[in-house]
């Protein structure tokens, strides 16, 4: 197949241009990525545009090999097919409003399809050379129950407890068991998903899994976890929309070759990591990551200001017929709502990291969202609302209610989600997909009702999302009903 832009050859070490060209940066020599030191579960676009880039830059800055990445793909082997024929090379196409540039990343040394290569995955997790396991498996990938612990009623988890290794937590624990038996070498598990206190969350899930194993088996691995495994939290930030054909054509022009593994990203990237590593780590601070003692204030700032506002713009924007976040933020009403959400509702709840100006942070967030070159779709950000809302918006709602304030703007964002679920189409009558692991539950909670009270009360009754406290909060309910009158 000839790609647009005339490039037919596939990206690989052999087809790389001889040197950097304007707008194109080549990868370091393959030796730098030699030796797998990191296993990454969930090698989607985000990992490739974020942690892999930081890791390569750290290896370069410190001139240190041994931190090659073994990426693991869970649901399909698409990433294996993308990267294997390319010597695991791929480009990150960085798009600002005015320019694009590409860099080819060579830090991934291996990609495994967990479903078909389970034994090899356990071997990697047991390998003492592997010292860090990173994760981007999305919110739903953790399979948490309503109390935040491991959902033992989940079928995949249940099958893993019988000896499988298909869920993320099952893979971690089966890998740790193999590691304990093989060498008992310490290791760090570093989650990079948008969850509050993600390190503690994953630690708890791992220990929940151990506790559900027969005790002779579970106690041994739990003791190993307690003594030799650390779970730092981290905050990750980079906007990485789905790659389009247009992106691939542009990258082909820059690379002179076709890149099936291409990812697209904004220029901005941030990574704040708790510096608690059981067995060393790459020199990420030399690549611009911030290694801190406590990530909580950074995480709260990012999840509530950026992701909360992103979700608001996604739902309200999609309902109004805006295809992209940039279009939504160019809509004066929605930009104003986004500013009010941050200023009125979110900012009063924040415990800011030292030296951070929340208002300035908020302005930067909106500038980043306005980047027209990214084409981040509203429906992409809108997906998995049942998993995202509690983390991004409902903490703000709870904190404001506890302070005796009614968070009208956060209620507007939540009502946007409710209207998105209930209406199922935008202002032009185009369908809006409800892509959510709880879609069936949400649909039945709304039923055939389309009036604000039925929709608000139906969805507030979804315990996993709102708990009992928000369901029973009269002021919040009234605020939602009021907003839904406008939206439905």
Size of the site for ligand CS2 (CB under 6 A): 9
Q: Is 238 in the site for ligand CS2 (CB under 6 A)?
A: yes
Binding mask 191-210 for ligand CS2 (x = CB under 6 A): ---x----------------
Are 94 and 374 contacting, i.e. CB atoms less than 8 angstroms apart?
Answer: no
State which of residues 11, 178, 192, 239 lies at the interface with ligand CS2 (CB under 6 A).
239
Return the range that interacts with ligand CS2 (CB under 6 A); candidates 90-98, 231-239, 315-323, 337-345. 231-239
> The tokens 């090659």 sit on which residue?
68
Q: Is 185 exposed, middle or buried (0-12, 13-18, 19+ CB in 10 A)?
A: middle
Segment interacting with ligand CS2 (CB under 6 A) among 177-185, 207-215, 380-388, 403-411:
380-388
Asked if residues 17 and 89 have their Cβ atoms less than 8 Å apart, the reply is no
Nearer to ligand CS2, 167 or 194 (CB): 194
Nearest to 267 by CA among 365, 368, 377: 368
Structural tokens at position 191: 């989650």
What is the C-alpha to C-alpha distance for residues 94 and 63, in angstroms, rounded to an integer? 24
Decide: 128 and 60 in contact? Cβ < 8 Å.
no
355: helix, strand or coil: coil
**Should residue 399 be labelled a site residue for ligand CS2 when binding is judged by CB under 6 A?**
no
By C-beta, is 144 or 238 nearer to ligand CS2?
A: 238
* Shortest Cβ 406–ligand CS2 spacing (Å): 25
Region from 80-88, 185-193, 234-242, 412-420 binding ligand CS2, contact rule CB under 6 A = 234-242
Of 226 and 435, CB closest to ligand CS2: 435
Place of tokens 């500038």: 367
Distance CA 423, CA 318 (A): 11
Q: Does 310 bind ligand CS2 (CB under 6 A)?
A: yes
Q: How far apart are CA 481 and CA 36, in angstroms?
A: 53
Q: Which residues contact 445 (CB under 8 A, 6 or more apart)?
A: 458, 459, 461, 462
Q: Is 135 in the site for ligand CS2 (CB under 6 A)?
A: no
Helix ranges, 342-392 (H): 358-369, 378-382, 385-389
* C-beta closer to ligand CS2: residue 125 or 337: 337
Candidate residues 93, 278, 283, 381; the one interacting with ligand CS2 per rule CB under 6 A:
381
Closest distance between ligand CS2 and the C-beta of residue 18, in Å?
35
Q: For ligand CS2, give the closer residue by CB, 310 or 423.
A: 310
Span of 156-164, 235-243, 326-334, 394-402 interacting with ligand CS2 by CB under 6 A: 235-243
Question: For every residue of 20-54, which 3-state class applies, written as one string?
Answer: CECCEECCCCHHHHCCEEEEEECCCHHHHHCHHHH
Least Cβ distance, residue 228 to ligand CS2 (angstroms): 31
Residue ranges that bind ligand CS2, judged by CB under 6 A: 194, 237-239, 307, 310, 380-381, 388
């Amino acid at each position: 197949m000839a790609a647009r832009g005339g490039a037919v050859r596939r990206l690989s070490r052999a087809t790389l241009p001889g040197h950097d060209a304007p707008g194109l940066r080549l990868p370091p020599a393959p030796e730098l990525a030699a030796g797998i030191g990191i296993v990454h579960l969930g090698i989607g676009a985000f990992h490739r545009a974020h942690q892999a880039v930081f890791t390569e830059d750290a290896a370069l800055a410190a001139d240190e090999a041994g931190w090659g990445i073994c990426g693991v793909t869970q649901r399909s082997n698409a990433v294996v097919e993308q990267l294997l024929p390319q010597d695991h090379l791929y480009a990150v196409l960085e798009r600002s409003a005015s320019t694009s540039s590409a860099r080819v990343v060579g830090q991934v040394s291996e990609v495994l399809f967990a479903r078909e290569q389970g034994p090899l995955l356990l071997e990697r997790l047991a390998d003492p050379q592997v010292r860090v396991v990173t994760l981007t498996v999305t919110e739903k990938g953790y399979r948490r129950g309503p109390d935040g612990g491991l959902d033992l009623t989940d079928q995949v988890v249940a099958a893993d407890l019988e000896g499988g290794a298909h869920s993320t937590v099952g893979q971690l624990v089966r890998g740790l068991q193999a590691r304990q038996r093989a060498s008992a070498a310490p290791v760090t598990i570093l989650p990079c998903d948008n969850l509050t206190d993600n390190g503690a969350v994953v630690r708890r899930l791992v220990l929940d899994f151990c506790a559900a194993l027969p005790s002779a088996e579970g106690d041994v691995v739990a003791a190993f976890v307690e003594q030799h495994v650390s779970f730092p939290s981290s905050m990750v930030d980079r906007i990485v929309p789905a790659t389009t054909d247009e992106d691939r054509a542009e990258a082909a022009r820059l690379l002179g070759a076709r890149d099936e593994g291409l990812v697209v990203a904004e220029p901005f990237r941030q990574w704040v990591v708790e510096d608690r590593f059981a067995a060393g780590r790459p020199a990420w601070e030399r690549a611009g990551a911030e290694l801190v003692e406590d990530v909580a204030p950074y995480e709260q700032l990012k999840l509530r200001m950026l992701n909360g506002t992103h979700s608001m713009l996604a739902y309200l924007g999609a309902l109004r017929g805006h295809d992209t976040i940039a279009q939504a933020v160019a809509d004066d009403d929605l930009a104003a709502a986004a500013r009010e959400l941050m200023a009125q509702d979110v900012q009063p709840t924040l415990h800011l990291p030292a030296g951070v100006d929340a208002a300035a942070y908020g302005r930067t967030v909106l500038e980043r969202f306005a980047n027209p070159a990214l084409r981040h779709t509203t429906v992409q950000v809108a997906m998995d609302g049942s998993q995202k809302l509690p983390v991004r918006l409902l903490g703000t709602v709870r904190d404001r209610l506890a302070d005796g304030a009614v968070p009208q703007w956060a209620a507007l964002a939540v009502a946007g989600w409710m209207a998105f679920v209930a209406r199922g189409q935008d202002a032009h009558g185009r369908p809006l997909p409800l892509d959510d692991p709880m879609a069936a539950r949400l649909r039945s909670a709304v039923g055939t009702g389309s009036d604000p009270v039925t929709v608000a009360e139906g969805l507030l009754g979804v315990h996993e999302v709102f708990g009992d406290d928000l369901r029973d909060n009269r002021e919040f309910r009234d605020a939602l009903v009021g907003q839904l009158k406008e939206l439905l």
